[in-house]
Amino acid sequence: MLQKWKNRPPGSNWGEFGPDDQLGRLNYLTEENTVKAAKEIQTGKRFCLSLPLNVPATDATNPRRKPPLLKPVVREGHTAFNLRIDTFDPGSTQVVSDDAVLLYNQHSSQWDSFGHMGGLFDADGDGVDEIVQYNGHKLINDAGEPRYGDLGAWNLGIEHMAQHCVQGRGVLLNMKKHYAEESRPVSYDDVMRMLEVDGIEIEKGDIVCCYTG
C-alpha cells in the first residue's frame, strides 16, 4: 500500500501505523494493554459515559442537529404499535410493535469518526492546499467524485473503531475542579498543567475522560 501523502501536518502521527491506517492512536488499545487495564479494576462498578439520546431535548445548541425522532413503522396503512397481526393474517395470535429512529450522530454524545473533520493542507507537496482527512485519506477521488458506498464513506468510517473495539484504562481529568463553572477554551498547555497539578500520568493506550461539569 502506497503512502497517500508527501507532507504531514506538524505534530501529527500520519503514517506511524501504516499507510492505510484508519484508527490512529486506537492502535495502542492492544490485547496487552487491555489485560493491564483490567488488573486495575477494584470495585467493578459500571456506568455509562454517554448522554441519553434525547439530551439535549431541543436543537438550541445547534439548529442543524435535531433530537432523535422515534416513531412507529407504518405497515400497510396501520401504525405498527401494539398491532394485531390477524389484521393481515387471520388466525394469527401475534401482536407487534415496530419502531424507526432518525438519529443525528452529532446531537447528543457525538459518534465521530476520522471522517467527521478534515482540513485544508498541502499533503502531496504541490504547493496547493487540498481537502484531506487523517493519514492523507480523501472522501472524494481526484476527479471530484464522492467516494461513498451505500452506507457512507468508504474511508475513515466509525465502523473501523467498532470492529477494533474500545476497551482500555480510563483516566479522569477533572476540569471542573480547576475551572469551576467558568466558560473558557482549554488549551494544550492548560491540559498539561492540570495533569501536572493533579499528578496524573497518561500512558499509551489510556482513554482520557474530561469532566467539565
Instruction: Give the residue extent of every domain in the chain.
Output: 69-102
CA distance 35 to 160: 21
Residue 142 phi, psi (nearest 5)? -65, -20
164: which 3 cell numbers?
477494533
Residue by residue, pLDDT tens for the chain (213 residues) are 688 999 999 999 999 999 999 999 999 999 999 999 999 999 999 888 888 888 888 888 888 888 888 899 999 999 999 999 999 999 999 999 999 999 888 888 877 889 889 999 999 999 999 999 999 998 876 666 666 656 566 788 888 889 999 999 999 999 999 998 888 899 999 999 999 999 999 999 999 999 988
User: What phi and psi values does residue 170 have, to the nearest 5 degrees?
Assistant: -90, 135
Q: Tell me which residue of 97, 71, 66 sits closest to 84, measured CA to CA.
A: 97
How far is the C-alpha of 141 from the C-alpha of 97, rounded, in Å? 43
Pairwise CA distance, residues 128 & 160, whole Å: 30
To the question of pTM greater than 0.85 for the whole model, the response is no
Spell out the residues 6+ positions from residue 77 whose beta carbon is closer than 8 angstroms to its own: none
- What count of residues does the chain have? 213
Q: What angle do CA 195, 12, 198 make, to 5 degrees?
A: 0
Instruction: Count the alpha carbons within 13 Å of 49 in the hemisphere toward its beta carbon.
Output: 11
For 179, list phi and psi in degrees, rounded to 5.
-120, 0
Q: What is the pLDDT of residue 149?
A: 58
Q: How far apart are CA 107 and CA 97, in angstroms?
A: 26
